[in-house]
Amino acid sequence: MKPVEIGFESTSNRAQVTLARMSSTSDELARPSDARFVTTHWSVVLAARGLHPSQSVQALELLCKTYWFPLYAYIRRQGHSPADAQDLTQEFFARLLRREWLKNVAEGKGKFRTYLLVLLKRFLADEWDRSGAKKRGAGLVFCVDWSEAEKFFLQQPVEHLTPERVFEQRWAMALLDRAYAELEREYTEQEGAELFETLRFALNGSRNSLPYAELAKRLKMTEGSVKVAVHRLRQRFRKVLRGVIGETVTIPEEIEEELRHLLVALI
């Protein structure tokens, strides 16, 4: 299988999105009905455990591409060196992409986050002989700038956190990063890059240094229209984030549970 190219960047390098408003019980956060809950990447993978459709492989590759860093961070926090953590992460995903473990997943439910962490713990507990691993650079599952990954890992204080806590935080940040990137792409294509670039301050809970009147002048909009645009941006981000979370669960009820978990993980 051809290695997946991964560009490493994080919300820490863009906007640190605050989720304080997302604990609201307003209608915009209402739980979606089963009828509206579309097939997710994770449910596609589960449905194809015993088969070999390309759709399942692509879905699993996307999930791995998005959420590999929380696993790398967990391995590093366990005390493994950067080099060993790289090898272990690659080998873990190589086995996962071969779907050797999918046949043991319970039917009907299961969060991708929980499943990956359980598998990783079992994998690390096994007597995997790192000295017999393939030479780094051969048979890679994905290609990433490991120096940047390690730099980001070291930027985040972890000394007072358990490996599990590190994993949960990095998982939450990966969800935010994915949602932010999707929102940026969507606005760039539909609304224009300038609108998103000007109003993205609204996603991190900070107050912009420019008053709405100045923003309105810059965007050639009325002040009222700018306020509406800010509200819509925040509202759209919530919807996009829920969709990203939905890709990692199998039933709509789990979205609310995962959203609450995300809020707690970032505290």
Write out pLDDT tens, residues 191-220. Answer: 889 999 999 888 876 666 678 899 999 999
Instruction: State the CB neighbour count (10 A cutoff) for residue 11.
Output: 20
Count of alpha carbons within 13 Å of 218, Cβ hemisphere only?
Answer: 13
Q: Checking DSSP bridges between strand 142-143 and strand 4-5, what pairing results, if any?
A: parallel
Report which of residues 254 and 129 the model is more confident about. 254
Total of domains in the chain = 1
Give the residue-averaged pLDDT of 91-110.
Answer: 70
Burial classification of residue 81, based on how many CB atoms lie within 10 Å of its CB (0-12 exposed, 13-18 middle, 19 or more buried): exposed
Its domain, for residue 159, covers 4-265
Backbone torsions φ then ψ of 142, nearest 5 degrees: -145, 155
Look up the pTM and report it. 0.72
State the average pLDDT over residues 69-96: 90
At 240, give phi and psi (nearest 5°).
-65, -45
pLDDT per position as a tens digit, 24-75: 433 333 333 333 344 567 766 666 565 555 666 777 777 777 788 999 999 9
Q: Using alpha carbons only, give the angle 183, 188, 191 rounded to the nearest 5 degrees.
A: 95
Query: pLDDT per residue over 137-161, tens digit each?
Result: 445 666 778 888 898 888 877 888 8
pLDDT at site 21? 43
